[in-house]
Amino acid sequence: MCGIIGIVGAAPVAERLVESLRRLEYRGYDSAGLAGLVDGRIERRRAEGKLRNLEAVLAADPLVATVGIGHTRWATHGAPTTRNAHPHVAGRIAVVHNGIIENFAPLKAELIADGHRFESDTDTEVVAHLIDRELAKGLAPVTAFKTALDRLSGAYALVVLVAGEEGLIMGARRGSPLVVGEGEGEMYIGTDALALGPFTNRVVHLEDGDFVDIDHDGARIFDRDGEPVERPLRIVPIASALVEKGNYRHFMEKEIHDQPDACQHTLSAYIDPITSTVSSPGVDFAAIDRLQIVACGTACYAGMIGRYLFESLAGLPTDVEIASEFRYREPALGPGALCLAISQSGETADTLAALRWCKERGITTAALVNSHESTMAREVDVMFPTHAGPEIGVASTKAFTSQVAALTALAIAAARQRNRIGAGEEARLAGVLLEAPRLIADAILDDGWIAPIAQEIAKARDVLYLGRGAMYPLALEGALKLKEISYIHAEGYAAGELKHGPIALVDEATPIIVIAPSDALFEKTSSNMSEVIARGGRVVLITDAHGATHAPEGVSVVIAPHCDPLVAPLVFAVPIQVIAYQVAVLKGADVDQPRNLAKSVTVE
């Protein structure tokens, strides 16, 4: 999704705008641009592709301005060309936008009929023309802005410059995040606290419908009715301002290695190691009769793992649904249900829409989020945190294992609250779970098995992942990891499903990656491997040392640490992440910013 930054500065801003956009690269983009006020006039610099192309344009033609806006564009309407890159300009207005203006076509037709000429294929450009048209009627900038906003439908985070208004930047949000930052004699506005991190850790989150005008002295926020409103000032953890790769080649590699700490930090929010008790602050699972999990992508697979635990440990009927499908089937949820969203960003539009659907029907809502100030975190009844720290790589790794760790803890708490286990078993399970960070660290260190296998997989056109029980969602996650960063087609299946169709795909060119700890399901999964081998297929078995001694002849083995089934999803997540990472590196892919992908999908 697009990245936005604006600075009302006391010194030149061009380099700082680019620095901020660099912190937003993780969101995914395909063009970038700046606009600034130079002697009261709008000047623009834009480029296709990566920020280095924009920097080359700036080196050749510097932008010397103390008030400016910047944008990284993830194309929705219009190809990723310079002509379609933001900022878009009409008359005295320059605008950058994250989201989709759903009624841009009729607005564009109306404006063209009014004599406006368009230069791009984007939806965003209509916003610049709408505001400029209101300005031309003599309205004050903020009034012109609000009048234009009232014409828009869809999702937006907008930041606007006005020619001739040296000390003014305006902003507005509906459905896409936007935060205002306070500096010393300067003010900032951007997509998230990370974008403002180089300048300030004092931020104010705008709410849906808010719009704001900003000058050197501060910000004036108005709600959707145009009434002045105060939003709380938050001091964000300084860590959100300090995100660097360190000695790692990619953020994804760093974040795989961050997992022991991320898991440990997350578990500390739920487990008291002194009393060996587990809590679920804000939710009494004995008071709910059904748990509905909604999420997208990797977060949904974490939810599927959670479902095994909530049902097997706590006896709590649990459903998991892809958020983008959930509300369209009119789910039959009663007042005793709890809707739990899982989201790293806390901004995913599909998941947010599912949550709002539940809220509108009086269903209690909770969100397991890594971004504790996100829209989801602020809208739900109960926020459950993961503490993975900022995750920059588009491919989710430490956020995923932190989600699984938190869900495992919540399932233990639910089991205790629903009297399915006593204090002794609660303490035992808490102890097992607290071992997970060390086991994850062992899995990370012991990755020597993977290099030769990655060499083979990198040659494949198609790959199948198989798993049973809680390893089935891990098979789905492994396939997603591989396809999203190496662009190799991969599918995850329940191992028992192989002979119901997918086995037709088995040949010597299609690696079959089987995730199977030596647990109660190993024997059954072993027979699936034999079926594959009997048909000339190539099997890669991810198991523990005991499983390796019972593997069928001819399989390639990746050994993960032996562990209690409770934490196997956490431990076995590491080899599937490392396989995907090493294959992507071998293929020379853009590991941290895979093509077409965004870190947080804030459009439906």
The residues assigned a catalytic role are: 2, 599
Contact status: 351 vs ligand AGP (CB under 6 A): yes
- Beta sheet of 93-101, edge-to-edge order: 88-90, 93-101, 154-162, 169-174, 211-215, 218-222
144 or 399: CB nearest ligand AGP: 399
Q: Which of 394, 463, 541, 567 touches ligand AGP (CB under 6 A)?
A: 394
Strand partners, 512: 464, 539
Contact status: 345 vs ligand AGP (CB under 6 A): yes
H or E element, residue 408: helix 398-417
Contact status: 602 vs ligand AGP (CB under 6 A): no
Give the number of residues written for the chain: 604
Contact status: 200 vs ligand AGP (CB under 6 A): no
Find the binding residues for ligand AGP in span 317-336 (CB under 6 A).
Answer: none
178 or 506: CB nearest ligand AGP: 178
Contact status: 266 vs ligand AGP (CB under 6 A): no
Contact status: 296 vs ligand AGP (CB under 6 A): yes
Find the binding residues for ligand AGP in span 441-500 (CB under 6 A).
Answer: 484
Residue 401 structure tokens: 């294992």
* Cβ atoms of 284 and 417 closer than 8 Å: yes
Question: Which has the closest alpha carbon to 28: 82, 81, 98, 78?
Answer: 98
Question: Which has the closest alpha carbon to 131: 157, 111, 112, 154?
Answer: 111
How far is residue 285's CA from residue 418's CA, in Å, rounded to a whole number? 7
- Count of helix runs (H) and strand runs (E) in the chain: 20, 26
**Stretch near ligand AGP under the rule CB under 6 A, chosen from 12-20, 257-265, 388-396, 412-420:** 388-396
* Cβ atoms of 70 and 20 closer than 8 Å: yes
**Stretch near ligand AGP under the rule CB under 6 A, chosen from 213-221, 252-260, 389-397, 494-502:** 389-397
Q: Which of 191, 348, 526, 543 touches ligand AGP (CB under 6 A)?
A: 348
188 or 572: CB nearest ligand AGP: 572
Shortest distance, position 348 Cβ to ligand AGP, whole Å? 3
Q: How many residues bind ligand AGP (CB under 6 A)?
A: 15
Shortest distance, position 598 Cβ to ligand AGP, whole Å? 8
Which residue has the closest beta carbon to ligand AGP?
297
Shortest distance, position 292 Cβ to ligand AGP, whole Å? 16
Which residue do the tokens 């939810």 mark?
303
Q: How far is CA 230 from CA 8, 98, 196, 468, 543, in A?
A: 20, 24, 20, 51, 55
Contact status: 437 vs ligand AGP (CB under 6 A): no
**Stretch near ligand AGP under the rule CB under 6 A, chosen from 21-29, 88-96, 294-302, 538-546:** 294-302
**Stretch near ligand AGP under the rule CB under 6 A, chosen from 18-26, 338-346, 406-414, 565-573:** 338-346
Question: Which has the closest alpha carbon to 469: 309, 577, 316?
Answer: 309
Contact status: 373 vs ligand AGP (CB under 6 A): no
68 or 390: CB nearest ligand AGP: 390
Contact status: 297 vs ligand AGP (CB under 6 A): yes
Contact status: 31 vs ligand AGP (CB under 6 A): no
21-48 burial, b at 16+ Cβ within 10 Å, e below that, comes to bbbbbbbbbbbbbbbbbbeeebbbbbbb
Shortest distance, position 396 Cβ to ligand AGP, whole Å? 4
Contact status: 396 vs ligand AGP (CB under 6 A): yes
What number of CA atoms fall less than 13 Å from residue 48's CA on the CB side? Answer: 7
3-state secondary structure of 382: strand
Residue 356 structure tokens: 């709002």
As a whole number of Å, the end-to-end CA separation of the chain is: 11
For residue 184, give every residue at least 6 positions away whose Cβ sits within 8 Å of its Cβ, in sequence order, or none. Answer: none
| Residues found near ligand AGP in the complex (CB under 6 A) | 296-299, 343-345, 348, 351, 394-396, 484, 600-601
